[in-house]
């Protein structure tokens, strides 16, 4: 099956976080491709990726970046596909820099921004799955099972009271 999600990250140093995105995509059986695309070091590759994404069959793009995190916004500037931004946690400002850089897109190039770090990385994959599920019954069923399982797990956690 052709890849439907493109996962981009600004540096290989983002991989420990973005790996979590990929693991959730795999759990839902969603074919994806992954790339390191540094917005400030690889501007030509960034533009080519954004402009070719729809034609090569991608449906959603997930982009993770840290610091002055312009990768998700610059991809959004080059495609009409939905772009989900993952703010990578940074050592200097704990990822608040990444969050504000990604979430504060001006009108015209939206980026659906998730939370900083690991939860955000996993939620980005879930959000992509939910977008794809609007037109894919099999992913929709897997999402329903996932929600059921997490509800049962939360309810059963009462047994852990001492």
Looking at beta carbons only, is 16 or 57 nearer to ligand RP5? 16
**Stretches 5-13, 78-86, 115-123, 146-154: which one binds ligand RP5 (CB under 6 A)?**
5-13
Alpha helices in 2-136 (DSSP H): 15-27, 43-52, 71-76, 96-103, 118-133
> From CA 91, how far away is CA 94, in angstroms rounded?
6
Residue 46 Cβ, how far from ligand RP5 at the closest point, in Å? 11
Q: Distance between CA 155 and CA 105 in Å, rounded?
A: 38
Angle between helices 118-133 and 137-156 (to 10 degrees): 140
Closest CA to 124 of 9, 46, 11: 9
The reply, when asked if residue 44 is annotated as ligand binding, is no
Q: Closest separation between CB of residue 57 and ligand RP5, Å?
A: 25
Beta bridge partners of 87: 65
Q: Is there binding between residue 97 and ligand RP5 (CB under 6 A)?
A: no
- 118 carries a ligand binding annotation: no
Among 6, 10, 95, 120, binds ligand RP5 (CB under 6 A): 10
Q: 103 or 143: whose CB is closer to ligand RP5? A: 103
Q: Does 88 bind ligand RP5 (CB under 6 A)?
A: yes
Per-residue burial over 55-69, b if 16 or more Cβ lie within 10 Å, else e, is eeebbbbbbbbbbeb
What region does 106 belong to: left with phi over 0, alpha with psi -120 to 50, or beta?
beta
Site track for ligand RP5 across 41-80, x = CB under 6 A? ------------------------xxx-------------
Residue 20 binds to ligand RP5 (criterion: CB under 6 A): no
Residue ranges in contact with ligand RP5 by CB under 6 A: 10-11, 13-14, 38, 65-67, 88
List residues forming the annotated binding site for substrate: 11, 14, 41
């Amino acid at each position: 099956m052709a890849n439907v999600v493109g996962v981009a990250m600004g540096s290989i140093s983002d991989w420990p976080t973005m790996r979590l995105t990929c693991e959730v995509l795999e759990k839902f059986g969603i074919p994806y491709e992954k790339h390191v695309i540094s917005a400030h070091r690889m501007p030509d590759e960034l533009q080519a990726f954004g402009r070719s994404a729809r034609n090569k069959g991608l449906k959603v793009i997930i982009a993770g970046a840290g610091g002055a995190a312009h990768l998700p916004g610059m991809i959004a500037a080059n495609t009409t596909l939905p772009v989900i931004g993952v703010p990578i946690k940074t050592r200097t400002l704990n990822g608040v820099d990444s969050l504000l850089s990604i979430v504060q897109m001006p009108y015209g190039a939206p980026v659906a921004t998730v939370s900083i770090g690991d939860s955000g990385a996993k939620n980005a994959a879930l959000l992509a799955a939910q977008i794809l599920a609007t037109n894919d019954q099999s992913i929709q069923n897997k999402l329903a099972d996932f929600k059921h399982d997490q509800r049962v797990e939360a309810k059963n956690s009462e047994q852990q009271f001492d």
